[in-house]
Structure formats: structure tokens, C-alpha cells
């Protein structure tokens, strides 16, 4: 046998290399997301958690649109539950997607998954209650965007749970990633804002103080839909038997990781660090 042809056979094919690059790009994207979500949890716990324990609730109203309203017991409970669950879900979510955690600790994965799905549904219901009973900054358009986000979270969480119970793990993985993306919608909203401000050198054209500008309207829906569209493109590239498509997707994901990093940095500086 010709030794040269044997070496050639052992070399990874172009498609395998492209798949490998796509994997590396998603790992980088995930790492940046984990750092960003960690900073968000730190903000939630340090800002809302610490003033909850010291009883300084007035502190909340300095940053929230409605915050705690005297006499609105159910609304205030919904807000407290919402904020507590926000910390839980942002912390639990990324753990579900770490392959070592999933394979080495399957029982933890199952229980963390149940907590995650239940939390996703409860936080969305509490959010919907606040939106419809109190209103939100940005008015009806933002309320529609929030309602879309909450509806997708509940729908995808149920589908992720049902496919896990049916032991259809290919479908389960896809619905779980979709759930994670829409649950991260509020986080993407802040990242989107941060990135926009970075791109525009410190300004936010198209955004108004009452969040009624064209950029605000775009973000009201994009924070749920844009990550989902990108995910479907990724699924398409992954299953497509075409190296060029895979290389293009990998390059796009590397660029996206950079943009996400900038967005995380800006969101941390503007929204999370000051608190």
C-alpha cells in the first residue's frame, strides 16, 4: 500500500475540519455568554438581594419603572418572586449545557432541568402579571414584545420537558437550547442596548427615554426572535453537507462572539456595575 495515501486517509476531511471549527466557535460563544450571564446574576443578587435582606426596598424603586407600589400586595409579591427566580434561572441555565456536567452527573442534569423549566414558566407568569396589571416602560409595543417573549418561554419549556420525558433526546436538545435563548431574552435586551451604544460611540440613536423609539421597538421583538433565527441558521449549517456553509457559519459565530463580548462589557458598565 502506498504510505502517502494512507496518511491522506488519516487526515480529517474538509467537512470534519469545518465541523470542528463550528464547534470551537460555539464553545467561544457559550463561554462569553456564561461570563455575561454570571455578571447579570451578580447584579441581581448584589443589588436586589442585598437590599431585600437589609429591608431597603426603596433602593429598588430607584432603578425599576414601577418597582414596589404601596397597597399593591399581589404586584409586589409578583415582583419579588420574579427577581428571586431571575437569579435562580440565570444561574441554573448555563449548567445544563456543559457537556461534562450532563454526562458525569445525569441526575443533577435532570433535576436542574426540572427546576429550570418550572422556574421559566413561573417567572414568565409573574412577568405577565406585572405587565398587564401595572404596565411597562415602552407602552403597548414593549408589552407585546414581553408577551411574545413570555409565550415562547412557556411553549418551548413545555416542549423541552415533553421531549425529555419521551426520551427523544435529539429534539429535546434543540428545544432546550431554544428555551435557553428565549429565557435569556431580557439579558439579550441589555446586551443589545450595550452593543448599540458601543457601535454609536456612546449614543443610542433610535432610542428614547420612554423606550418608544424605532430602535426600542426593534429590540422589543428582536431580543426574542433574533437569537432564534441565528440558532436555526446554525442548525441548518450543522446538518448541511457543505464545508463552505459550515466555514461561513463558524466565521459568523466568531464575529458574533466578539460582538457579544462588547455587548456584555457595555451592559456591565452601564447597567450592572453601577448597582
Binding site for ligand HEM (CB under 6 A): 44, 64-67, 79, 82-83, 86, 89-90, 120, 123-124, 127-128, 130-131, 136, 146, 149-150, 153, 183, 186
Q: How far is the CB of 130 from ligand HEM (least distance, A)?
A: 4
Q: How far is the CB of 234 from ligand HEM (least distance, A)?
A: 22
Residue placing its CB nearer to ligand HEM in the complex, 82 or 172: 82
Residue placing its CB nearer to ligand HEM in the complex, 104 or 114: 114
Q: How far is the CB of 152 from ligand HEM (least distance, A)?
A: 9
Q: How far is the CB of 163 from ligand HEM (least distance, A)?
A: 20
Reading phi first (left if > 0) and then psi (alpha if -120 to 50, else beta), residue 168 is in beta
Residue placing its CB nearer to ligand HEM in the complex, 33 or 44: 44
Q: How far is the CB of 7 from ligand HEM (least distance, A)?
A: 51
Residue placing its CB nearer to ligand HEM in the complex, 29 or 130: 130
Smallest CA-to-CA distance from 98 within 108, 83, 89 is with 108
Instruction: Evaluate whether 102 touches 68 at the Cβ level (below 8 Å).
Output: no
d(CA 275, CA 272): 6
DSSP symbol at 70: T
Reading phi first (left if > 0) and then psi (alpha if -120 to 50, else beta), residue 11 is in beta
d(CA 112, CA 96): 7
Amino acid at each position: 500500500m502506498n504510505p502517502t495515501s494512507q496518511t491522506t486517509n488519516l487526515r480529517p476531511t474538509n467537512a470534519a475540519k469545518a465541523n470542528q471549527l463550528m464547534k470551537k466557535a460555539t464553545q467561544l460563544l457559550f463561554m462569553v455568554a456564561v461570563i455575561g450571564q454570571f455578571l447579570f446574576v451578580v447584579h441581581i443578587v448584589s443589588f436586589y438581594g442585598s437590599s431585600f435582606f437589609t429591608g431597603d426596598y426603596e433602593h429598588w424603586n430607584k432603578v425599576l419603572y414601577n418597582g414596589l407600589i404601596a397597597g399593591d400586595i399581589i404586584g409586589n409579591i409578583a415582583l419579588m418572586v420574579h427577581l428571586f427566580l431571575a437569579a435562580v434561572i440565570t444561574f441554573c441555565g448555563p449548567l445544563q449545557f456543559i457537556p461534562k456536567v450532563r454526562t458525569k452527573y445525569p441526575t443533577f442534569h435532570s433535576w436542574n432541568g426540572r427546576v429550570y423549566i418550572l422556574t421559566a414558566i413561573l417567572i414568565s407568569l409573574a412577568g405577565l402579571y406585572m405587565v398587564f396589571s401595572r404596565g411597562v416602560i415602552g407602552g403597548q409595543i414593549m408589552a407585546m414584545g414581553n408577551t411574545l417573549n413570555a409565550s415562547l418561554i412557556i411553549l418551548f419549556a413545555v416542549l423541552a420537558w415533553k421531549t425529555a420525558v419521551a426520551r427523544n433526546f435529539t429534539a429535546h436538545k434543540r428545544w432546550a437550547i431554544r428555551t435557553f435563548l428565549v429565557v435569556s431574552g431580557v439579558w439579550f435586551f441589555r446586551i443589545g442596548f450595550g452593543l448599540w451604544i458601543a457601535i454609536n460611540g456612546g449614543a443610542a440613536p433610535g432610542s428614547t427615554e420612554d423606550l418608544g423609539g424605532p430602535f426600542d421597538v426593534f429590540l422589543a421583538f428582536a431580543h426574542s426572535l433574533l437569537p432564534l433565527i441565528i440558532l436555526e441558521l446554525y442548525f441548518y449549517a450543522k446538518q448541511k453537507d457543505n464545508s463552505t456553509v459550515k466555514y461561513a457559519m463558524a466565521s459568523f459565530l466568531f464575529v458574533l462572539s466578539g460582538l457579544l463580548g462588547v455587548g456584555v462589557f457595555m451592559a456591565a458598565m452601564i447597567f450592572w456595575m453601577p448597582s
